[in-house]
Amino acid sequence: MAESLPYGIVFETYTYRQMCLGSFSMDPSASKIPISRLRFLSQTNNPRALPEDLILVTVKLNGELIAFRTVLPDNIELGVRSVHFAWLSGVWVAPQYRRLGISRKMFDIIFQAWNGLLLGTEYTPTNGLAITSSGQFGPTISKPGVRIFYKSPIEHIILKKYNKYRPFRYAFKLADTIIDTLVKGRNMMYGNIRLPDEVKYTISEMLSNEAKAFINEYRSYSSTNRRVTELDWIVKYPWLASDPKAKEDSKKYYFSVFAAQFTVCFLEIYQRSDIKAIVMLTLRDGIMKIPYLFINEMDKSDVASCILRYASDHKVKLIVSYHTQLNERLLSLDNKRIIGKKTTRYYLVTKILDEIIPAEALIFADGDGDCVFV
């Protein structure tokens, strides 16, 4: 049972309009911040946000920030039907104030402001338990995926799961080095993956006009139906950067701000002279994800070959993908991986949203939610 809230605690809320008009200001001298500079820019440029959308809840005690929660406005679009909702995003409570009901109170504020139209994904087990304990969530959608490793993951997997083995990390690191050396020798025998003669691709940071036309004409395969406008927003306003300012912000913020490498690009794939597929890729410190995929009358094996060629050229150490049919091609064509592991992404749907649009009718792309920004 949660204890009573501390005396003098203050909850503050900020809408999209208030953030854009400067009601929320970033204090450069603050020791903790509820939203990073990069996330602030992203939120205030979200093409799907409406003026009165609640975006941020902060909690202060004696002027000190002790908790915050953010959400990301979005739309579900099924045919002519559109539902405005929010993705649950970052939540943090200072350790000494946890288990007092602060997180639940922030959730209740957001739940009421959004009339219960909320979705959650990529949450930690602790946060997931806190969300579901509210009693407001019903169905859970699962999306199968795969993690394809090109570097030995022994140290990473064991230490992430079993912290008690941390004293032996150097032994795990040595094992990884030995395996990586053997695999490197093996891969030299295979050479680079070959593309069919009629298939080629270009790499661009921004979509070409031809690619934009292709996407805008493409039928929706995701319930959020993110198109060119949303993709441009994602590219222009990522939540990670490698500059000194981002590194400084990371000392004050409790989620990802700094990355040694973070890029977003598009593979525009052609068969002969006709564009046949667009693949959006993110690459963060050697980990590649495939947020969005648009394919029109093209063998997915050819698309997979282009992705694997890009991964090889850019020395990717891990591919994470939830595109089921594409994953089958990636695994069947790839002879350079060390291991391919199944994984699952879960989506929490509120009972209220499920009543409006049944959860079984919802289909999500890898990039739906806020994970595309990191």
Token pair of 275 as six digits:
């564009």
pLDDT tens, 35-67? 999 999 999 999 999 999 999 999 999 989 999
Given phi > 0 = left and psi -120 to 50 = alpha, else beta, which region is 155? alpha
Q: Which domains does the chain have, with CATH numbers?
A: 9-142 (3.40.630.30), 146-346 (3.40.630.30)
- C-alpha to C-alpha distances, 94 to 129, 254, 292, nearest whole angstrom: 18, 10, 35
The per-residue pLDDT for 1 is: 39
Tokens of 349: 């749907």
- pTM given for the model: 0.90
Span 141-150, pLDDT tens digits:
999 999 999 9
Residue 163, sorted as left (phi over 0), alpha (psi -120 to 50) or beta, turns out to be alpha
Distance CA 124, CA 129 (A): 9
Say if residues 24 and 30 touch (Cβ distance below 8 Å).
Answer: no
Q: Looking at residue 185, what is its pLDDT?
A: 75
Can you list the residues of the chain whose pLDDT is less than 70?
1-3, 190-191
